Chains A and B, each alone.
Chain A
Amino acid sequence: MDRFKLRKAEPQDVPDILRLIKELAKYEEMEDQVILTEKDLLEDGFGDHPFYHCVVAEVPSEQQNSNNNGSVVIGFAMYYFTYDPWIGKLLYLEDFFVMKEYRGFGIGSEILKLLSLTAVKTRCSSMHFIVAEGNQASIEFYKRRGAADLSLEEGWRLFKIDKSSLLKMSSGPEE
């Protein structure tokens, strides 16, 4: 399997990106939680101000369901830039998935390598991402590439305030 290609996602990749997002969510038994639409992905990723970036992995295809250039998208990574007030720009890896039947061929490694190159080229000091603590295979994959568990080393915990609480807070009286 050395006939795969990695490239920046284009607007016509949006249906494939959503398909792969749902496939990854299905694997986590959370498919019904994906409420994002192709329209959102298009506006948010390919407008004046992209809120995310994507690279896709494609392989040549003989089948009917290939895209215009006779290829099929079989993996993707979604990332964006974040900012550390002590050091500046960081690359944040949000989602990363290769379809099951295309694993074991080094596609995942190449994706991560491309993202590392992107991070260095855009003068990011670090690449950050979160991993579920139960996901040993992924933890090992990243640790082999030098990843450090900041939750362990620095004791960080991720919090969220979701929309209903945001609405409450933004319209509520002063404390």
Chain B
Amino acid sequence: MSNFILRKTEPKDVSDILRLIKELAKFEEMEEQVVLTEKELLEDGFGDHPFYHCVVAEVPQEKQSSDGYTVIGFAMYYFTYDPWIGKLLYLEDFYVMEQFRGYGIGSDIPKLLSETAVKTRCSSMHFIVAEWNKTSIEFYKRRGASDLSDEEGWRLYAIEKEDPLKISAKKR
């Protein structure tokens, strides 16, 4: 499977991106949690100010998936900012369809993102991994990743929408 290409996504890829997002969510048994729509992906990714960037892996027509797709993998990333060092590239989602794994597509994607990170003068690439996902942890560790949660004791917190509304409405 050496004839695949990696490329930046275009507006027309939005339905494939959503399909792959849902496929990855299904794998995590969370498909109904995907409330994002094609319209939002289009506005948020291809407007004046993109809130995310995507690369896709595409195969030629004759190699299409069993259900007829040629876009068979993707990675979603955006830029974050560390107040000590500056710009970072944050890898948000990363997925290759099961029947196209084992051909090096998954290795080429982080490699492309590393190039992007270096070219855009980012000091580091960050991402989160579920602690039970041993395969992914090994995959990243082989490429030099270190566990900041381990080394520095960071824990990720969220304040959900109802709470920001509660906080912003509260009188002093």
- Whether the Cβ atoms of B35 and A158 lie closer than 8 Å is no
> A51 and B79 in contact (CB under 8 A), knowing A165-B145, A174-B108?
yes
| Contacts of B57-108 to chain A: CB distance below 8 A | 76, 78-87, 90, 92-93, 104, 107-108
Query: Which residue, of B51, B81, B168, B170, has the highest number of chain A Cβ atoms within 10 A?
Result: B81
Is A160 engaged at the interface, CB distance under 8 Å to the other chain?
Answer: yes
Instruction: Note all chain A residues with C-beta closer than 8 A to B158.
Output: 126-128, 147-148, 150
Question: Complex: how many Å from CA A129 to CA B160?
Answer: 12
Question: Complex: how many Å from CA A157 to CA B151?
Answer: 11
**Count class of interface residues, chain B:** 35 or more
Is A104 engaged at the interface, CB distance under 8 Å to the other chain?
Answer: no
* Contact among B24, B44, B51, B156 for A151, CB-based, below 8 A: B156
Is A99 engaged at the interface, CB distance under 8 Å to the other chain?
Answer: no
**Nearest Cβ in chain A — how far from B68, in angstroms?**
23
| Contacts of B114-149 to chain A: CB distance below 8 A | 114-115, 117-118, 122-132, 140, 143-149
Instruction: Note all chain B residues with C-beta closer than 8 A to A174.
Output: 104, 107-108, 111
Instruction: Note all chain A residues with C-beta closer than 8 A to B163.
Output: 116, 145-147
- Whether the Cβ atoms of A120 and B168 lie closer than 8 Å is yes
- Whether the Cβ atoms of A49 and B164 lie closer than 8 Å is no
- Whether the Cβ atoms of B114 and A89 lie closer than 8 Å is no
**Nearest Cβ in chain A — how far from B74, in angstroms?**
9
> A165 and B160 in contact (CB under 8 A), knowing A146-B167, A170-B118?
no
Q: Which residue of B lies closest to A45 (CB)?
A: B81
- Whether the Cβ atoms of A157 and B131 lie closer than 8 Å is yes
Q: Which residue of A lies closest to B53 (CB)?
A: A83
Is B21 engaged at the interface, CB distance under 8 Å to the other chain?
Answer: yes
Is A119 engaged at the interface, CB distance under 8 Å to the other chain?
Answer: yes
Is A29 engaged at the interface, CB distance under 8 Å to the other chain?
Answer: no
Known: A87-B35, A154-B130. 15 other contacts (CB 8 A): A33-B84, A36-B85, A80-B79, A85-B24, A85-B36, A86-B33, A94-B81, A109-B172, A117-B164, A120-B168, A147-B163, A149-B155, A151-B156, A157-B148, A158-B126
